[in-house]
């Protein structure tokens, strides 16, 4: 898709000249005054580049570009000035954060070159922003399953932990671990093991609510934070999750495999001093679930007074 360029100039001949010069290279918009251009910024953007004349009836080019810098900060701005305007232009260049200014009269070739540079600058900034988002996703997302990684789980979990503690709200953690998973790898290969981890993760994710926090804690272990949920309800959820994994075999390239998980559940209590402490109890309960025969959930018993829901 060609980049959008907005030309703002009250000189009709100049606008027509640029329209001809740019024809086919860009998606060109022209406006004869700043007010019209502001409307276009709002309705037709995003624009890669704005080229604005300085002297126009109504809002001046400087004031227009200053507004544009606020309303469309990513759009790269070029100012056209007359020789006599150069002193005033300095103010505009600072205030409107101008990429380049051109002194009129100037040839279409000069404008073309400046717009090409500005459009490239816009493209690079876009690419940088895209990479930043990608990098952030990489840092927070588990590659195999696409769910939150351990780091992200703790970041989000920490906030919820603090909120629940402060307001005395219920909060429950779960630790989940695949049963006899080493055998899956040993018998069917690592790729089949990966497919199992992905499918288990997907089945769990679809059974949680939007507000719950679900992360891959490590290898074949997952962790969950149920927001505004106490141990009693969490137990029901945990049993449902065990069932959701055990009820149907997981399809892999090595054929359908029967898989089960064990879950430890632990509720926040008022004497807890960290999320890690709540998770540690869930981990102990998980070991009880394993010892009790696997494919089941166990809840940590706490003698401490529970937070009321």
Contact footprint for Mg ion (CB under 5 A):
177-178, 181, 221
Nearer to Mg ion by Cβ, of 29 and 181: the residue is 181
124-163 binders of ligand GH3 (CB under 6 A): 144
Q: Considering the rule CB under 6 A, would residue 193 count as an interface residue with ligand GH3? A: yes
Sheet with 4-8, strands from edge to edge, namely: 27-31, 4-8, 49-53, 76-82, 100-104
The partner in contact with residue 235, picked from Mg ion, ligand GH3, none with C-beta cut-offs of 5 to 8 angstroms by kind, is: none
To the nearest whole angstrom, how small is the minimum distance from the Cβ of residue 196 to ligand GH3? 7
Task: Specify whether 220 is catalytic.
Answer: yes
The residue annotated as part of the active site, out of 32, 160, 199, 220, is 220
CA nearest neighbour of 70 among 48, 97, 100: 97
To the nearest whole angstrom, how small is the minimum distance from the Cβ of residue 237 to ligand GH3? 20
Q: Considering the rule CB under 6 A, would residue 197 count as an interface residue with ligand GH3? A: yes
Q: Considering the rule CB under 6 A, would residue 190 count as an interface residue with ligand GH3? A: yes
Q: In degrees rounded to 5, what are phi and psi of residue 164?
A: -65, -40
Nearer to ligand GH3 by Cβ, of 116 and 192: the residue is 192
Piece of the chain touching ligand GH3 by CB under 6 A; list 18-26, 154-162, 191-199, 204-212: 191-199
Structure tokens at 128: 């940088």
Q: Considering the rule CB under 6 A, would residue 182 count as an interface residue with ligand GH3? A: yes
Nearer to ligand GH3 by Cβ, of 2 and 219: the residue is 219
Among 130, 180, 209, 240, binds ligand GH3 (CB under 6 A): 180
To the nearest whole angstrom, how small is the minimum distance from the Cβ of residue 194 to ligand GH3? 5
Nearer to ligand GH3 by Cβ, of 19 and 183: the residue is 183
Q: Considering the rule CB under 6 A, would residue 204 count as an interface residue with ligand GH3? A: no
192-199, Cβ contacts within 8 angstroms, sequence gap of 24 or more? 192/252, 192/253, 192/254, 192/257, 193/220, 194/144, 195/250, 195/251, 195/252, 195/253, 196/250, 196/252, 196/257, 196/259, 197/144, 197/145, 198/144, 198/145, 199/250, 199/251, 199/259
To the nearest whole angstrom, how small is the minimum distance from the Cβ of residue 218 to ligand GH3? 7
Q: Considering the rule CB under 6 A, would residue 220 count as an interface residue with ligand GH3? A: yes
Sequence-distant (6+) residues with CB within 8 A of 208 are 214, 224, 226
Provide the β-strand partners of residue 51. 7, 78
Q: Considering the rule CB under 6 A, would residue 290 count as an interface residue with ligand GH3? A: yes
Residues in contact with ligand GH3, total (CB under 6 A)?
Answer: 16
Q: How far is 5 from 41, CA to CA, in rounded Å?
A: 10
To the nearest whole angstrom, how small is the minimum distance from the Cβ of residue 143 to ligand GH3? 9
To the nearest whole angstrom, how small is the minimum distance from the Cβ of residue 178 to Mg ion? 5
Q: What residues line the site for ligand GH3 (CB under 6 A)?
A: 144, 177-182, 185, 190, 193-194, 197, 219-220, 290, 294
Active site residue ranges: 220
């Amino acid at each position: 898709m060609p980049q959008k360029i907005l030309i703002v100039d009250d000189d009709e001949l100049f606008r027509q000249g640029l329209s001809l010069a740019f024809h086919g290279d860009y998606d060109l918009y022209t406006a004869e005054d700043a007010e019209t251009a502001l409307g276009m910024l709002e309705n037709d953007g995003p624009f890669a580049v704005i080229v604005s004349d300085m002297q126009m009836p109504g809002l001046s080019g400087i004031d227009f570009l200053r507004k544009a810098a606020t309303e469309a900060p990513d759009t790269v701005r070029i100012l056209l000035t007359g020789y006599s305007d150069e002193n005033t232009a300095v103010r505009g260049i600072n205030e409107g954060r101008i990429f380049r200014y051109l002194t009129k009269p100037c040839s279409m070739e000069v404008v073309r070159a400046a717009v090409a540079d500005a459009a490239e600058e816009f493209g690079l900034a876009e690419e940088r922003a895209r990479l930043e988002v990608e990098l952030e996703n990489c840092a927070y997302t588990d590659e195999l399953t696409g769910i939150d990684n351990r780091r992200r789980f703790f970041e989000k979990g920490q906030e919820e932990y603090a909120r629940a503690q402060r307001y005395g709200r219920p909060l429950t953690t779960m630790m989940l671990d695949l049963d006899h998973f080493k055998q899956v790898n040993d018998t069917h290969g690592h790729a089949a093991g990966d497919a199992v981890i992905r499918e288990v993760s997907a089945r769990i994710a679809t059974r949680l609510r939007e507000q719950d926090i679900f992360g891959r804690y490590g290898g074949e272990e997952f962790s969950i934070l149920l927001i505004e949920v106490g141990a009693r309800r969490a137990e029901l959820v945990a049993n449902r999750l065990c069932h959701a994994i055990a009820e149907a075999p997981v399809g892999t390239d090595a054929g359908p495999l029967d898989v089960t998980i064990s879950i430890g559940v632990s509720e926040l209590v008022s004497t807890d001093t960290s999320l890690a402490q709540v998770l540690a109890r869930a981990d102990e309960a998980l070991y009880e679930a394993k010892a009790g025969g696997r494919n089941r959930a166990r809840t940590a018993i706490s003698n401490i007074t529970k937070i009321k829901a």
